[in-house]
Each structure stands twice: as C-alpha cells, then as structure tokens.
Chain A
Amino acid sequence: GAGVSQSPSNKVTEKGKDVELRCDPISGHTALYWYRQRLGQGLEFLIYFQGNSAPDKSGLPSDRFSAERTGESVSTLTIQRTQQEDSAVYLCASSLSGYYQPQHFGDGTRLSIL
C-alpha cells in the first residue's frame, strides 16, 4: 500500500515568509509525528498527534511553529516568519497506536531559507 507522503519535497523561500508543509500518513494510522533533521544530525522531535489532538507539542522550537491535523489524516506544519536557522529537512512519520509500533517515515521536505 501507499506509504507516508510529504509535499513539497523541496521548498526554497526567503527569510520572513511563511511556509506550510504537508503530510499524508498511511491510511488507518492514528498516530502522526513531525521531526526536524539538520544536516548530518539525528532527528529532533517536534510534535505528536493521536487522532486530531496533539498530546505532546513539547518539541516545537518557538511560537512561530504550529501544526494541525484534520480528519485523522492529513497534517500540516506551518512555520511563520521563517529564519535561516529553520533550514532543515522536516520529516513526518505515522504509526498505529500503542507503545510497540514502529514509525513509518516519509522522505521529508527539504526547506531552505535564503
């Protein structure tokens, strides 16, 4: 079946602009996660959704970052007033509920802030 789909795959924008990143999880996966990966680094947790609610937003780096999920499906991550330090790959993952479920990742959105 289809995997996790993210769009766009690449985004280049000017500092100060807003960007919106989209994630389509695997159908039936109630849990959805956003991570950020800087060049050559590991993944940094941003936010986790269970259904449409976000019980853990602890990783969002500032109030410029927000995310929502609708219909227990698509999620969007919005970054307002982008800054150069926001440049990174943003990865989305989804999983079934439960502690022992592996996460399935999309290929990410590579965001470059000029």
Chain B
Amino acid sequence: SQQGEEDPQALSIQEGENATMNCSYKTSINNLQWYRQNSGRGLVHLILIRSNEREKHSGRLRVTLDTSKKSSSLLITASRAADTASYFCATALIQGAQKLVFGQGTRLTINP
C-alpha cells in the first residue's frame, strides 16, 4: 500500500479562502515533500521539509510536520483560481532517501 495517504481526496473552495490538505505516512522518513500537478502535466516541486523541522513557509504556502503523529499538512492561504490542481505529498524514507513514495493526492478546485 502507499506510504502516504492524503485527506481529503477532493476539496472545493471559493477564491480567497484558505485550503488545508493533510498527509499521513507509516514509516520513519528523511524528509517530506509537496508537489503540485496541473492536469496533463508533470509535477512541480513546492516545498521540502526535513524530519527535524516542524514548520516551513514559502510565499502563500505553509507546511507543518509532526513526526510523532507521522503526519504533515499543507496550507494554501488566500487561494486563487490558478491554484486549482492536484497536490501530492511524497516521503523520502531514511533508507533509500532518494526514492520518493507518493500519496494518492488531493484534487483542489478553486471556484472564482
């Protein structure tokens, strides 16, 4: 089964609202990464958080990591229509950290 599981599977909000997506994983990690995928395109790296970090910011993105609960969240503030995409968390395991294990993704729709 997948290492990462994301919640919710789909999220639809109004433009300007905040969007929160969650990711849970099963085994110890070296780092956790979030990626965005627009329909029919490849993935775009958003942010990487190391296992010894608890929170990281990048522009309108905020990622948290709780290694005791084996979970992470991605918050997008002041959402825009252009944020409509699928969002994936990916974990790099301690052994074989160059291989990423992806979750099933959250499909985010921002309504204008």
Contacts and interface: CB of A to CB of B under 8 A. Distances in A.
Interface of A: 4, 31, 33, 35, 41-45, 48, 50, 56, 58-59, 91, 93, 95, 99-100, 102-108
B45 A56 contact: no
B21 interface: no
A26 to B, nearest CB: 12
B61 interface: no
Contacts of A106: 42
Contacts of A93: 42-43
Closest 6 CB pairs of A and B: A105-B42, A102-B45, A42-B102, A43-B102, A105-B43, A99-B97
26 contacts: A31-B98, A33-B98, A35-B102, A42-B4, A42-B103, A42-B104, A43-B43, A43-B88, A43-B90, A45-B99, A45-B100, A45-B101, A45-B102, A50-B98, A58-B99, A91-B42, A93-B42, A93-B43, A99-B31, A99-B92, A99-B98, A100-B31, A102-B45, A105-B35, A105-B44, A108-B42
A42 B88 contact: yes
Given A31-B98, A102-B48, 17 more contacts: A4-B42, A33-B98, A33-B99, A41-B104, A42-B4, A43-B102, A45-B101, A56-B99, A58-B99, A91-B43, A93-B43, A103-B33, A104-B45, A105-B44, A106-B42, A107-B42, A108-B41
